Amino acid sequence: MYKNYFKVAYRNLIKKKAYSFINIYGLALGIACCVLIFMFVRDEMSYDNYHEKGDRIYRLIHGELAADGSTPYPFWVWNNAPVGPALKDDFPEIDKVVQFSGRSDILLTYGDKIYQEDGVFFMDSTVFDVFSWKLLKGNPKTALAAPYSIVLTETTARKYFGNEDPIGKTLKGSESAGRSNAGDYTVTGVMEDVPLNSHFRFNVLLSLNTFRKSIPQVFSEWGYVDFYTYFLVNDKFDEAAFNQKIPAFTARHIKDPNWRYTIKIEPLKDMYLRTTADRQPGETGSLPNIYVFSIIGVFILVIAIINFMNLATARSLERGKEVGIRKSIGAYRSSLISQFLGESFLIVFLSSVLAFLIVFFALPYMKDFTGKELNIQNFITWQSISTFLLLLFFIGFLSGSYPALVLSGFNPVLILKGVSRSTGNGATLRKGLVVFQFSLSIALIAGTIIVYHQMNHILDKDLGFDREQMLVLDYNYDNVVNAKSEVLKAELEKNPQVVSVAFSRSVPGSYYPHAGTEIETPDGELKMMGQPIFQVGLDFVKHFSLHLIAGRAYSREYPSDSSKALIINEAAAQQYGYTNPADIVGKKFRQWGREGVVIGVVKNFNFTSLHQNIEPLTLPFEAYASRYATVKLKPGNISETIRNIGEVWKSIVPHRPFLYSFLDDDFNRQYKSDFMFRRLFTTFSCLAIFIACLGLLGLATYTAQLRTKEIGIRKVLGADVKQIVGLLSADFIKLVVIAIVIATPISWYAMNKWLEGFAYRMDIQPWVFILAGCVALFIAAFTISFQSLKSALMNPVSSLKSE
């Protein structure tokens, strides 16, 4: 019997090749999309799971309370050094504390090999007791104990030493990030490369004792910010009890009554997807985006299942007589249900095979979309295999159950007489499914339009500074380069393609420190307020085309500007109580040991991503603490100009690699995750819409088959093709209109929530939903027109003979 079922199923697939292709391919595409999204989501959820003690690893985040006990400013992961030892002393439930510096780029030299390493941390010797990073060579207890010890990842060690054993060899290091840690570093360990699914990664670890030896005083200053603090707890740790002890802990160690310092803790499992703290040591993910992609994956699969049901139902009339004959010769309904469910499982099996082929060929392109290496071998576990098989069984049963029940329920007497009609409940269900499909499709179309326009809004917004044709040269605070900055500037500006050159510690979109600054308020009091600091050279304001709204810029005509002058932005002027920026010019200031007067106010500019509002900012003059030289270029012949700049660079500072990038690229890199979201959202939205169209095609086919005789009679009575097409399309257009009404408020709410993540966002206009509805109507009309025209052009003689 089962052999006969298989033969019938196989013959039906071969007989109707177009239907079989649409059915198998549509379901395969849905399964493939679901698998790809599952792989992406699982990779995002897997961050830091490889640490053996991960459930006992926490970190501190730091903040400041307002007088009413609220936290007006975001918490930071990055903060002071003395909090770590204090925690270890005050809390016996803490086994190990590991601290490390903010990221430190450093120039390392070995023979003729010179590289600026951009993934470097000064790390505690306890790091290998807390984290599960495997040391391939060296002693994990002592590798980072002594000053000027260095541990390299396997890839970094191979870059400098090839196949040689690096242990005991020496790398010469330059000064890093303004710290006095230049010297000879002895390689004491080689470790495995940090897994890609880590919330922070690195290439080189330097011993924290190197930092401690060079600047020992900062390790006792609670107000000096340059460290991250992680800790390992024992089995007796109670997070709730720990949190209750925090106020007493901070009260014991913070003696300044005006500084309301506080801390919180974050478990390792929350550090990538759930953290809200600023100044992260590495990248973070987006839990809302994970939810969005998961929902899209489920919806795509549901749409594919609905399509299967619609297409199977559309063919029910063709197999009606088969069902009638089987029933008339004694076939039980349960046997027919088993047969049709078996056919469903066969299609699901074929679809799953095709789905895996699609996944296999799509994975390389997923790397371009996500920046992730999604290797299918990493996802082949007994849990994932059993889940996938259960999913296939569920799809097969759900997809085939409704058609099986419909087909097996036909009355054999009526069927053999040529009478067949769909039940009212069945027709209502199919229409409801179409409305559901197109409600989702319209929401996805509207979402795609909004995502694209928001990203274009970010790229096109006037940021308040000139970022076009800006070549950024990174020399990492090199003292020799800073000493020769005026010579370098003069030589570079001799090039007719160079407009101007300026030096600064920061450029928009890059790292910037925070500091407390005292400025005289309108009532004459010197008030301390905190804000970001951009240390700049003389020509920074003019070079970046910042708009000076009060006072003047730094000038060579005023030698005192180097130590007794300060420029701020208008947000900082408002921070100190000045509604008119001109009123703050000439007011006294104190900052980082310098005293003088405010000489100018620049118009607010977006020096950080548009996810954040513009903060108060000070731009102190600093000639010898710069990291970047920015070169403004004229349009045209860029490659030749860069080559000439490189030659000048090598002639003046030959010891330093010529490292360059373009400011607009660097600034837009802040939106890496947003652009990835746009690519994935758009791609899977289009696939969902395509699969929904297959379902609409199935229902159009089904309806046209039901009305074959009606179409024939209408043509005999004089109806033309246009009238027939309009007749068949009208019902579906009504369903799409209903879907537009349902989808509009849902998509508006969802995308409004997404836009809340941007401080500068587009306003959602009604035209977005009008356009989304028009696109959906066009897609529906185009899809339906294929079957409608086919039915309208059918010979009425054939239609009237159809019974």
pLDDT means per 10 residues in the chain (803 residues)? 62 68 83 88 91 95 78 84 94 95 88 89 95 94 94 96 93 69 89 93 94 89 91 92 92 83 93 90 87 84 78 63 68 71 82 90 81 75 82 79 68 58 58 79 86 84 90 91 92 94 92 86 90 90 95 92 93 95 95 92 92 90 87 92 95 92 89 84 84 73 65 69 71 84 90 84 88 83 69 60 53
Q: What is the pLDDT of residue 437?
A: 77
Specify the pTM.
Answer: 0.83
Q: What is the pLDDT of residue 348?
A: 85
Q: What is the pLDDT of residue 588?
A: 95
CA distance 147 to 151: 12
Phi and psi angles of residue 514, each rounded to the nearest 5 degrees, phi first: -115, 155
Q: What is the pLDDT of residue 616?
A: 94
Distances (CA, A) of 222 to 79, 509, 516: 8, 27, 14
Q: Which helix (H) or strand (E) holds 687?
A: helix 672-706
Burial of residue 27 (number of CB atoms within 10 Å: 0-12, 13-18, 19+): buried
CB 78 within 8 A of CB 256: no
Q: What is the pLDDT of residue 779?
A: 78
CA distance 228 to 79: 6
Phi and psi angles of residue 641, each rounded to the nearest 5 degrees, phi first: -65, -45
Q: What is the pLDDT of residue 181?
A: 65
Tokens of 427: 């027709």
Single-letter amino acid, residue 124:
D
Q: Which helix (H) or strand (E) holds 597?
A: strand 594-602
Tokens of 790: 């086919």
Q: Which helix (H) or strand (E) holds 643?
A: helix 638-652
